[in-house]
Chains A and B, each alone.
Chain A
C-alpha cells in the first residue's frame, strides 16, 4: 500500500516537474511588466487600465478563438517599480514561475532594454508598447515594440512637409549637443533631400543646449527662402525659437517632433505656437474611428483621457492576440507556442492599430504611420492627419 502511495506521489511530482512544459488547457496567460509604483506610476496605471478594458471585452465575448479552440485570457500584472533591476526579475518571474505565453511591457526604455535581454534569452516574446530606443529590439528576435523608433519621425515630417505644404525647400534648427534632436534633424535632412533633390534643405542650423538667442541662425533661415522650418526641440526651447522666428519675419509653417507634445508647451508658449504641427504617436483630441471608441471607453470608465502609453498598450495587446490567432492553434507545449507566436508577430502585415497601421519585419520594429498633430486655436493638440513613411 505504502509503495503504491509513494509511487503515486512520485508520478505526481514528476508530472509537476514536467508541468511547466504543459499548461492549463483553455487559458492563455499574458504577463505585464509595468511600473505600478516608483517614478512613473501613472504610466503603469494607464497600461493596466487599458489592459483591463481589453481583457473584459475579449473574455466577455467568450474568449480568443485560436484555430478551432477558444481560450480565455488571463493577464498577470507585475510591478517593476520603474527600476531596471526589478524589470529583469519581474520578467524572469513571469517567464519561469507564471509560465506566461508572452510579456507586454516594460514601458520605458530604461527597463525595456534589460528586460528585453531576459525575454530574448528565455525565448519568450515581449512587446514593449512605449520604448523608442533602438537598443530595445536590436539583435533580439523575441523582442518587439508597438511604437516607432526615435529616428523614424524625421522621414515622416519630411513627407508631411512635402505633401501638405508642397515644400521644395526646408530649413532645420536643432541642438547639436543633444542626441535626440540631432538624430531627428539628420534623418529629416536625408529624407527631405531624397524627395526634393540634394541641397533642398537650404538651411541646416545648429545651436547648443542652454542657448537662448537664435537670431543669427533664424536670420539665415528666414533669408534662405525655405518653405518650412523643422525644429525637433523640447518644450522649453520651442517657445523661444517660435517667438524669435516670428520677430525676424518668419511667417511659414513650423514643424516639430513628439518632444513638443508636453502639456507644458502651451503654458510656456501661449498663443505663439498655435497653428503649428508636430508628429507623435497618437492624438486624443479630434480622434476618429477605433481610436475615438477606445478614448470614449477609457474616459467613461476611468474619468480621464488616456495618453499615448494607454493607446500603445492597447495596440500591443491586440498585436499579441492577432499573432496568437495567426498560429492557427496552440500545441500546449509552451516553448513551441512561444516560438510560434514570435514567428507570427514578425509576419504581421497592415495591422490596424489605434495608433496607426503597423507592419512588422524580423527586426521587431513596426513600420507604422505617425500622427501629425496641429496645435489648434484653443491650444489643444488636435489630430490633423496620419502620415506613413
Chain B
C-alpha cells in the first residue's frame, strides 16, 4: 500500500460517510421553495360569528401570523365560482357567496396546480373536493358556540290541497343555546293564520298547523319563528312552502275483499285525508260463514249490487280494489266491463293483490308468477315520480321505509306499455302503472304497506311517510296534476334564484306531441321556456333560470291543453342558511384523503406553517445533497481499485 493509496482511500471513505450523513438533505436552492395557493371559503356562512368576531375575521387573523413571510403566494376566493384575490385587500372582503364548491376549487387551480393548497373554511360546502390531486392543508374556523339560535330545519306540506278542505303543514324546529321555547307562526299569502309557543328545550320539536285554503291556484306560505332573545342568525327562522290548491276533493271508492291490517290502516288514512271523500266496503264474511247466527245478531249489511256500483261509478275519481280474487264473484263481469269503460274515459284504478292475479285492467300480464323473498324493502325506481316522491327531504326516504312482507310471489310479466315503479331488491316488480286511453291503472302486489306506518312509529317519526305515499297514490289515481301520460318531474332539493332549474318532461314514446313549457312567478305573467329532446326517447328537457326568489308555477302544454303543472319555491340563496354549524369533521376528512392535514384556526401559528412547509419540501424535492458526496466517493473507490490492479497491487 502506497501513501497515495491511503490518501485516496481516506478521501473516498470521507465522501461516502458525508453522503450517508446528508441523505434526505436537499440540494441548496432546490426543493426549498414549495408552491402554495391559499384558498378562502367566501361563502355566506363564513360571516357567521365565531366568538366575538366572524369566522372570516378569525381566518384572516390566523393567516396574519405567517403573512409577512409568504407574500408571493397566490390567493383565491372560493364560492360557487372563484376569483383571484389580492392578500392585502382580503380584510375588506365580505363573505357573501351563495355556497362553496370543491368542484369549483379544482377549476380554479387549473391545469398547473401548486404543490399544495392551504384552505381556510368552516366546512359548509355544497360538495366535496374529491380528486383535487394536491394535498389540501385545511385551517378550520367556526365553533359550536352556545349563542341562541332557532331554525326551521325542515318543512312538509302537501303539494296539492283542496279549497274548503283543511291542509296540514308540519315543520321540525331546532334550537341551540339557551332557548327553551319558540313562538312559531304559520303565514299564508302574507297573512298570519295560526301560531303557538312550542317547547324546544330538548333541542328539537315538531310543529303542525292546519289551514283551510279558500281559493284555487298557487298559494305561498311560510313557517316563521320569532327571534329568540339575543339571536343574531335570523335567516334560518323562516321556511317557505307553496301549495297547489285545487277545487274538488277526490271521491274514492275502496272495496276490500278481506279485513286485515292493510284495510284498517288504508281506510283510516283515506278517512283522515281531508282531500278524500271515501266510500268503502269490506267483505267481512263469506256466505258460508256465521251460519248459526241470524241476521238480527249481525251488524252486516248487504253488499251493494253490481248494478248499484256501476250506477255510482261515474261519481268517483279513484277506485281501489283489494283482494280481487274474493271480489270477483261479488262484483261480477258487468262491473268489470263498466270499470274498464270508466278507466278508459279518465278514471284511475288501483289493484292491491298478493299474490297478484291477472286482471284485464291491471299492469300485470298472464297468470305466471315468479318466486322471490317474502320479506323485502321496496326499491323505488324513480324517486321523483309523483307516486314515489316523499316530501322535500333530500335523502332517499325509501331506504328507511319498513320491510314489507308478502307471499313471496311476484308478477312475471307486464302488459305492453306498463311501467315498473318499484321492485323488491332482486328487481321483481311490486308496483307498476299502466295508461289506458285517458285513464290509468296501478298494480300493488303487496298488502303490508301498513308496516311503513309502524316502522315510522318505531323510529319515533310517526307514520308520515306512509301517509305521504298514499296521498300520492290517490292524487295520481284522480288525475291530479302530474298524473297524466305527459308529466314533469318535480325537481328535488333547494331551487335558488339565479340558478338553472332543469325541467324534465315525460311523454309517451309513440307519437310526437307538440309540447310547450312555461314558467310563471306568482302574480306574474307566463314565460316560455325553451325545450329540447332529452337523453332518451320520450324525454324532453327545458332550462329555466328564475330571476328572483318566490313561488313559481311550471306547466307543460300539449297542443292547447295543460298536461301538467306544479308549483315550486325558489329560495333566495343557498340552503346553508338552514344549518350554519361548522363542519370540522368534513374538513379533516377531506384533508386526510388528499394527503394533507387539518388544523383548527386556534392551533394555526408560525410553527405549524413551518412544519407544513418543511414536510412539503421533503415531498417536493426530487434529489438530495448526499448525491453530491456519495457519487464521487463511489467513483473514487472504483478508480482506486482499478489503479491498484494495473499496478499489480491486487
**Pair from one complex:** no
Could you list which residues of chain A lie within 8 angstroms of chain B, going by C-beta atoms?
none
Which positions in B face A, CB cutoff 8 Å? Answer: none
